[in-house]
Amino acid sequence: MASRRAARKANPDARMALRDHLVELRKRITRAAIGIIVGAVAGWFLYTPVYEAVQAPVLELAARDDALVTVNFGGLASALDMQLKVAVILGIIISSPWWLYQLWAFVAPGMRQVERRYTIGFMAAAVPLFFVGISVAWFVLPQAVTILVGFTPEGAANVLDAQMYLTFAMRLLLAFGLAFVFPVLMVALTWARVVPARVWARGWRWAILIIALAAAMLTPTPDAITMLMLAAPMTVLYFVAIGVGYLRERQRARKKASEADEESEAGL
């Protein structure tokens, strides 16, 4: 006990650094939360067109197969509860440029001033890729609905619970968006010399395991098809990010070697 106390007294800077990081983390989370709340207000007014767009695959499937497939609100307050949940998820999507910046800003203070120029590159890549992920999920959604509803026995009705279906659709969009952003964060950390590419490469087995677990948790249904639809692009993007990191490190090494050669020639 005394040794711990002595260690803390001997290294007060470590405690101050930890406290500063926690304060910075709280500040960034608070700002991100405010942005999401503002986005959720906009999401509340966008609920009707979004609901109609999300319901469209179900109605198209019912019309194509001449089957009873519909979305049902089973409780008195379920419609209001669902609108609140969808508004929050829409708020996360709408405010993505803001909270992605807060994520990067939490990492940026620990970097040298010259490395903060990567902020523009991170935002320019992360925000479009987030929406690319959402677009891919929007394409996957009708396919997932068709596959899952296709298991309904002939002559039976499939009355989808609105809570389950809308949560499935919204979480699918959000999961794909986040999955497409993570490789950008990997590349940014490699370019900023925080995590070398070889570290990402050495941990590929663990990465695939974590990707599989994340896909299982992020997808709102327990079926393997939807999980694989998310895990496959996440795995591909993980290795693409490693490749981009290696290319950057090789470019940096060649530049350093060239500068060393120029200095040696100037010395001669």
Task: Encode pLDDT of 172-208 as tens digits.
Answer: 888 888 888 888 888 877 877 778 888 888 888 888 8
What pLDDT does 251 receive?
Answer: 81
For the chain, list residues with pLDDT below 70. Answer: 1-17, 65-69, 75, 108-117, 151-158, 218-223, 259-268
Q: Give the chain's largest Cα–Cα span.
A: 89
Render pLDDT for 144-159 as a digit per residue (tens, 0 to 9): 777 777 766 666 666 7
What pLDDT does 115 receive?
Answer: 57
Rounded CA-CA distance 166/69 in Å is 15
What pLDDT does 235 receive?
Answer: 87
User: Can you give the pTM of this predicted structure?
Assistant: 0.73
Nearest to 44 by CA among 97, 85, 96, 73: 85
What pLDDT does 241 receive?
Answer: 87
What is the full DSSP assignment across 130-171? Answer: HHHHHHHHHHHHHHHHHHHHTTSPTT--EEEEHHHHHHHHHH
Q: In the chain, what are the helix, strand and coil shares in percent, each to the nearest 5?
A: 85, 5, 15
